[in-house]
Amino acid sequence: MRQVGRYHIEDPAKIQGRDDVRPSDRNPGGLRLRYALQALAEARGCVLIPGCGAGRYVRAIARARPDLELIGGDLSLTALREARQRHATGCYLALDAARLPFGDCAFSAVVFFDLLEHVPDYRGMLAEIARVLRPGGILHAYVPLEAQPATIYRLLEHSRRFPLHRWKRDHVGHINRFDDETVIRLVWEAGLEVRQLAYSFHPVGQLHDLVDYWQRERQAGGPGWLPLPVVRWVTRAIFAVTWRLAYLEDRIYRGRALASGLHLTAIKP
């Protein structure tokens, strides 16, 4: 999927993964990285990271696990150029996650973050991941749950004032929305055994997301009565609180209720 709505994967303004993240970071990015590293604790050899964007998590895992051979992949050539510029020693390939250019049983682990919601053939993508994993190989994924009951995403599903789903489509290319039961079922149907689940991105994180995409829409020329300098000031003021508070919220409460993020680890039998 190269373009949907106002989103195009080669638009430099839409590229994700430029910033760095470390396991010690007290924010949702650091939390996602720690879950991934825990899942990879027994992994050896070659690890594939599809949907890597500009390489944030490839760089982070490479720093934490220099013994692993990492391959980052993305459909966006613009993102891959940035990834190589930021990580000259990394291996980055142009690829379609639903048609992986590797032989069977090529990887000891596959890790992806925020990818399933972008891929038209998400069932094909999971089947391809199962194909390229060795027996005993690990899948670890972070999936946003934008169809999960009792979340801001479901509350605003039909909102005209805050059309969050359209904003996410237009600014980052989200074309699929999942709840946790659907994701778990899809992974099992692909032939992988789900071993561990964890939840995050509870109400404060969701509020942060709403404000983020509201300001993106306004910056892109969307309607609103607040002047853009005020929009930027309001956003910075809210973000100063919500990003760290979202992390604290997820550290205190890791339950399924009110969560909109799923960390899933599965094994190929």
E strand or H helix at 113:
strand 107-113
pLDDT grade, residue 3 (50/70/90)? Answer: confident
Domains of the chain, each with CATH number or no CATH: 3-267 (3.40.50.150)
Judge contact between 52 and 74, C-beta under 8 A.
yes
| Res 267 pLDDT > 80 | yes
Judge contact between 92 and 83, C-beta under 8 A.
yes
pLDDT grade, residue 4 (50/70/90)? Answer: confident
| Res 1 pLDDT > 80 | no
Single out the residue of 16, 9, 95 nearest to residue 56, CA to CA: 16
Backbone torsions φ then ψ of 117, nearest 5 degrees: -75, -10
**pLDDT tens per residue, range 33-76:** 999 999 999 999 999 999 999 999 999 999 999 999 999 999 99
What is the pLDDT, as a whole number, of residue 61? 99
**pLDDT tens per residue, range 12-32:** 999 999 999 999 999 999 999
What is the pLDDT, as a whole number, of residue 203? 98
Tallying the residues shown for the chain, one arrives at 269
**pLDDT tens per residue, range 134-185:** 999 999 999 999 999 999 999 999 999 999 999 999 999 999 999 999 999 9
DSSP three-state, residue 26:
coil
Please state, in angstroms and rounded to a whole number, the distance separating the CA atoms of residues 204 and 208: 6
Three-state secondary structure string covering 153-186: HHHCCCCCCCCHHHHHHHHHCCCCCCCHHHHHHH
What is the pLDDT, as a whole number, of residue 5? 82
Judge contact between 114 and 142, C-beta under 8 A.
yes
**pLDDT tens per residue, range 91-147:** 999 999 999 999 999 999 999 999 999 999 999 999 999 999 999 999 999 999 999
What is the pLDDT, as a whole number, of residue 215? 98
User: CA torsion sign, 193 to 203 to 111 to 65?
Assistant: negative
Which residues, at least 6 apart from 96, have a Cβ–Cβ distance to it below 8 Å?
A: 75
**H-helix segments, the chain:** 28-39, 56-64, 77-86, 122-132, 152-155, 164-172, 180-189, 203-219, 228-252
What is the pLDDT, as a whole number, of residue 100? 99
The tokens describing 55, both together, are 């390489």
